[in-house]
Amino acid sequence: MRAHSSAIDATPIAVTAPREHRALGTGLAALGVASFSLTFPATAWGLEGFGPWTLVAVRSVLAALVAGGCLLAAGARPRAGGRAREGVRLPGRQHLPGLAVVALGVVLGFPMLTTLALQTSTTAHAAVVVGLLPLTTAVFSALRHGSRPSRRFWQAAVAGAAAVLAFTIGQSGGALTAADGYLFAALLVCAAGYCEGGRLARVMPGWQVIGWALVLCLPLTVPAAAVALAYEPVHLTAHGVAGVLWVALGSQFLGLVVWYRGMAAIGVPRASQLQLAQPLLTLVWSALLLGEHFTAAAPLTAVAVLVCIAVTQRS
């Protein structure tokens, strides 16, 4: 197994990208956002048939099995002497801390916290709260990688975040709920996972980043799934099965594959701002798939933060 150069790992995430790569990177990141926008409605469906802990553990195990199969098919098999075949190189020791952050933030933390929140919160409310994720990710990126977006970029990001915060407090009657606490905690762990995943996607393909993170979690998720299945009732319904399959394969693996590739191409701060469109998309899915009704404040807030995308993408 060849170790990657530490000089490569030290390269910060770029805020801008060459023109020929920027359009592709933006398209891939946008595809990831479209996939993520279905996560909350799919989770609500999954909760119709599975308990919260079962849903989180099973989705991670299913995604890890698919990711592991892809890694094996691409050639990540050890040779005699512990060396990997050509194709997919095993991650070096210097990559393990970053993969651990991705695993704890994206594979375990975010799904667990948002699933707990959705037991008492509507998907529309949760979607608008998670609209703070772009700002949170940009802050983590600036602190971790030394990114320096423009002042206009920050002004637009803060404006979008302020709109989301005002919506949250207004919808909660002036006080934050336990579900809001879960959602804000989910923002922190997910932003950390996105930043580390974006950094690692500079030195290995994005699908391998999330693939290895999922596989590394198997020693935790397999026993957790077994225990959860033993203690939480399971009611197999069409919605429940469809929900768990989507969050496992669409949100947990395929969506993150294109998302990390997009971040590597155009930079964490710029890619993260595309997620400002995610709440609006989730509102559409919530109405179409769940029949949810929400006040005018939800789409108005989503549109307000969507306007910030145009500003940040030109900054």
Q: Helix or strand or coil: residue 293?
A: coil
Backbone torsions φ then ψ of 176, nearest 5 degrees: -75, 145
CA distance 51 to 47: 6
From the list 301, 307, 294, the residue with the least C-alpha distance to 129 is 301
How high is the pLDDT of residue 309? 66
CA distance 42 to 156: 30
Amino acid at position 258, single letter: V
How high is the pLDDT of residue 314? 66
How high is the pLDDT of residue 248? 93
CA distance 88 to 205: 9
- Alpha helix stretches (DSSP H) within the chain: 6-9, 19-36, 39-46, 52-73, 96-102, 110-117, 123-129, 133-145, 151-171, 178-200, 206-216, 218-231, 238-245, 255-266, 268-273, 278-285, 297-313
- Residues 11-36 pLDDT 10s: 344 444 466 677 888 889 899 999 99
From the list 50, 59, 40, the residue with the least C-alpha distance to 236 is 50
Torsion of CA 7, 13, 17, 22, to 10 degrees: 130
Backbone torsions φ then ψ of 78, nearest 5 degrees: -70, 135
How open is the CA angle 233-234-236, to the nearest 5 degrees? 155
How high is the pLDDT of residue 111? 93
Q: Does the global pTM surpass 0.85? A: no
From the list 106, 122, 83, the residue with the least C-alpha distance to 3 is 83
User: What is the C-alpha end-to-end distance of the chain, expressed in Å?
Assistant: 41
Residue 173: HSE in the Cβ half-sphere, 13 Å Cα cutoff? 1
CA distance 254 to 256: 5
Tokens of 186: 């989910």
How high is the pLDDT of residue 18? 61
Torsion of CA 24, 26, 27, 28, to 10 degrees: 90
CA distance 95 to 175: 41
Mean pLDDT by groups of 10 residues along the chain of 315 residues? 38 49 85 92 94 94 93 66 59 90 94 93 85 79 75 81 80 77 92 88 85 94 95 92 94 87 80 78 88 80 74 66
Would you tell me the crossing angle of helices 151-171 and 297-313 to the nearest 10 degrees?
A: 170
- Residues 42-67 pLDDT 10s: 999 999 999 999 999 999 999 999 99
How high is the pLDDT of residue 11? 39
- Residues 186-203 pLDDT 10s: 999 999 998 888 888 888
How high is the pLDDT of residue 151? 83
